[in-house]
Amino acid sequence: MNKITGLGLCLLFFTSSAGALDLGVGVKAGTAGVGVDLSVALSKTVNARLSLTNVDETLDEAIEISDADNSANVDATMDLGFGATGLLLDWYVFDGTFHLTAGMMRNDSKIDFNGRITDAQVTFGGTTYNVAADFSDPNLSGSISAGESFEPYLGVGWGRKAGDDPGLALSVELGVMLMSPEVDLRAPTATNPANQATLDANVDDAESAANNDLSELEMWPILSFGLNYAF
C-alpha cells in the first residue's frame, strides 16, 4: 500500500492549496483496486485528474501449466497486487455530473508466486523430467505482470467535478485500459549442474508459450464506485 500512502501525502499538499485552485478529491474501489483521485479544474467543464489505486493480497493456490509441450502442477503461494496509475482528462460535456474521460493509464497489477512442484514427472519445452531425480530443489517461481508502460485509456463516468459548489457526491466510472501482460518463469534447480542450462532453456520455452497465450489479453475493464468531494 506504499502507493496509497504516498497519495495521502499528495492529498494533504493539494488540500492545503485549495484556496488557490478549484480542487476535487475522491475515494473509490473497483476492478483496479482501492485508491484515490485528485482533480484540478482546467476550465469550467474540463478537469485534470491523477488516479492511483492499489490492493494487496496473499493466497495459496494450485497452478496448472498445461499445453502440448508443457505440463506441471505447482502448489504455490501467490502475492497479488492489483492497481493502476492514471493521468486523465475529464470532460463534463453538459456541465453536469456526466463526463467523458481520456488519458494514459498504467496497469500496475502483478502476481508473484513461488511453489513446490507436486508431480512425479513434469514437461518443459517438450522435455520430460523426473522431479525426484532431476531436481535438487523442485520449486518453480515467477511472476505475471499486466504491463509496465502507460497505455491509452477511454471511459465515461458520473461524479462531482472540481470547481462545483463544495459538497460530497457518489461517483461511478466505466472504462477500458489497454495492457501488455507478461509471464516470467524461473526454473527449478537441477540435481546435475551441467543440466541447468538445458533446464533453463526448456522453462524459457514454457514461458514463451504462456506469453503467447496471454498476448490475446489486450484490455482490462475498469469499473469503480466511490465518493468525491469538490472544494
Using the predicted structure, report yes or no on whether residue 34 has a pLDDT greater than 60: yes
- CATH number assigned to the domain comprising residue 176: 2.40.160
Query: Please, are residues 3 and 206 in contact by the beta-carbon 8 Å criterion?
Result: no
Q: Which of 230 and 98 is assigned the larger pLDDT?
A: 98
Phi-psi region of 211 (alpha: psi -120 to 50; beta: other; left: phi over 0): alpha
pLDDT band of 165, cuts 50, 70, 90: confident
Residue 107 to residue 91: CA distance in whole angstroms: 22
Domain extent, residue 80, equals 2-230
Most confident of 4-8, 60-64, 97-101, 165-169: 97-101
Q: Tally the domains of the chain.
A: 1
Query: Please, are residues 88 and 153 in contact by the beta-carbon 8 Å criterion?
Result: yes
pTM of structure: 0.79
